[in-house]
Amino acid sequence: MYKPAAELHLDMTLVVPALERFLKREVAHAGSSGLILGISGGVDSAVVAALAAAAVGPANVTGLWLPYHDTTDLGYASAVAERFGVELQEFSIAPMVDVYLEQAGKVDDVRRGNLCARARMLALFDHSRARKALVCGTGNKTEILLGYFTIFGDGASSLAPLADLYKGQVYQLAAHLGVPQAVIDRVPTAGLWAGQTDEGDLGFTYAEVDRYLYYLVEKGETPEQLKKRGFGVEFQRRVVGRVNANLFKRKIPIVAHVSGKTITKPIELPAVF
């Protein structure tokens, strides 16, 4: 299990109530009936399921298990749903993915993985419409900064409760909220293809990159200061290069500004009586 550095310590008495208030407030503001999320059996979706159940009540939370053939394990997802009392539905994305792949021809693992991620979000948003529920994202700050997500796939959601928390902080929440230990101990994977792991894709560990991003982003330290903390130049280049290269993923579609009131700026309209 990943044990986060001391720098990433969370005060649970402040963070947990704040996250639950956030979810409850946004559901009420949208006039929604609840929340829906993909429960993969990983630690991120498990934490979101726990927070959602506490915020709006388990009866108002729906989890979807969205496998592509045999790349994910239902047992982990079922354990999460049972622990927090939320409904879990199975919906295979294999038929719609495979129909497309038959026409697309030969694709590599990354393209296939991106297609699976987008198919899963398609299913979530369709079910959200049927249930009048908001789609709750499960992405964390580490992965968002690194661009380790599929744009308009797992990067798409109505709410993002973990997006300002590093991966190590998600693990802290998991332990505090009572996520099943088997889920906490599980090797992080998106289940996009057989044998795929998050750290294998990234080329470094969450523990290493979390600590680096904390000092780089939160503390604003220079490359020289970070080098003194033991972060090699090549490692820094790889991480910063990845953060910069994926900046576009963290923005809404870039709009050509030709007026003084573009959709990317807040526009407050008066009430109509």
pLDDT per position as a tens digit, 62-100: 999 999 987 667 999 999 999 999 999 999 999 999 999
Please give the Cα distance from 56 to 31 (Å, whole number): 13
13-44-168 Cα angle (round to 5): 60
In the chain, where are the structural domains located? Answer: 6-250
Tokens of 141: 């700050």
The CATH class, in words, for 6-250 is alpha beta
One digit per residue, pLDDT tens: the chain, 273 residues?
Answer: 677 788 899 999 999 999 999 999 999 999 999 999 999 999 999 999 999 999 999 999 999 999 998 766 799 999 999 999 999 999 999 999 999 999 998 999 889 999 999 999 999 999 999 999 999 999 999 999 999 999 999 999 999 999 999 999 999 999 999 999 999 999 887 766 677 788 888 989 999 999 999 999 999 999 999 999 999 999 999 999 999 999 999 887 777 778 777 777 766 667 676
Sheet holding 87-90, edge to edge: 87-90, 61-65, 34-38, 133-135
Residues whose CB falls within 8 Å of the CB of residue 167, separated by 6 or more in sequence, listed in order: 2, 4, 140, 141, 142, 143, 188, 206, 210
- DSSP, collapsed to helix, strand or coil, labels residue 19 as helix
185-187-192 Cα angle (round to 5): 140
Please give the Cα distance from 231 to 77 (Å, whole number): 36
Residue 201: the pLDDT is 86
Residue 17: the pLDDT is 97
Residue 1: the pLDDT is 63
CB 10 within 8 A of CB 43: no
Residue 146: the pLDDT is 95
Residue 255: the pLDDT is 77
Q: Which of 199, 196, 198, 235 shows the shortest CA–CA distance to 215?
A: 235
Residue 71: the pLDDT is 63
Residues whose CB falls within 8 Å of the CB of residue 61, separated by 6 or more in sequence, listed in order: 34, 35, 36, 37, 49, 52, 53, 84, 86, 87
Residue carrying structure tokens 């539905």: 89
